[in-house]
Amino acid sequence: MITHLLIGLGNPGKSYAENRHNVGFMAIDMIRAEYGFGKESSKHGGLLSEGIIDGFKTYAFKPQSYMNFSGEPAQRVVSFFKIPLEHIAVFHDELDLAFAKIRIKRGGGNGGHNGLKSLDAHLGIDYQRVRIGIGHPGDKDRVSDYVLSDFSKDEKKTMDTLLKKIAEKTHFILANDSQKLLNALGMAAELNTKIEIKP
């Protein structure tokens, strides 16, 4: 059976759980709920669970090493299950993308994202990246506080709606068909409402 790996980036612990920087963890949790994944277990330096999506065995993994060191536990999982990079998708926050927008790309740069830098160093770059827009605070000196702050109530509601739609169409991600996913998320543009944060 072909095996896939979905990795969400974030920071461990309750104090970070609702942070913008943790939207990758949120995406993984939504997918796990959508497909009835098994209980998470602490393995390989992260939280690992397993399920079936569109007939494919799929592992979901949330590194618990803190964002900047995500690569090492991810590498352990990839090595243990011998998963090729083309079967790996990583969900992460993206500052330079408007709130509630997504972009999907295989390979490419890390855009200064420390979690991606760590993954690139340990895995290589040819995995699929699901970039989830969180908007930009407008000043580079405010970025650190911004990404480590929680979504507002309205933002969280909008983001949950988007993540639910992504979860429902995860089979397109496994199939490496980003265009079909974006087409299926036709409402994504409408989700980018008044709470959009302009760069």
The reported pTM is 0.92
> pLDDT tens-digit profile of 151-187?
999 999 999 999 999 999 999 999 988 888 888 887 4
Determine the length of the chain: 199
Q: Which amino acid is at 69?
A: F
Half-sphere exposure of residue 74, counting CA atoms within 13 Å on the CB side? 32
Domains of the chain, by residue range, sit at 3-191
> pLDDT tens-digit profile of 109-159?
898 899 999 999 999 999 999 999 999 999 999 999 999 999 999 999 999
- Structure token digits, residue 5: 């790996």
What's the CATH architecture for 3-191? 3-Layer(aba) Sandwich (3.40)
CA separation for the pair 128, 89 (Å, rounded): 5
Is 21 among the residues known to form the active site? yes
DSSP SS3 for 101 = coil
Nearest to 98 by CA among 53, 70, 133: 133
CA separation for the pair 67, 69 (Å, rounded): 6
Q: Which of 4, 21, 44, 92 is catalytic?
A: 21
> pLDDT tens-digit profile of 40-79?
999 999 999 999 999 999 999 999 999 999 999 999 999 9
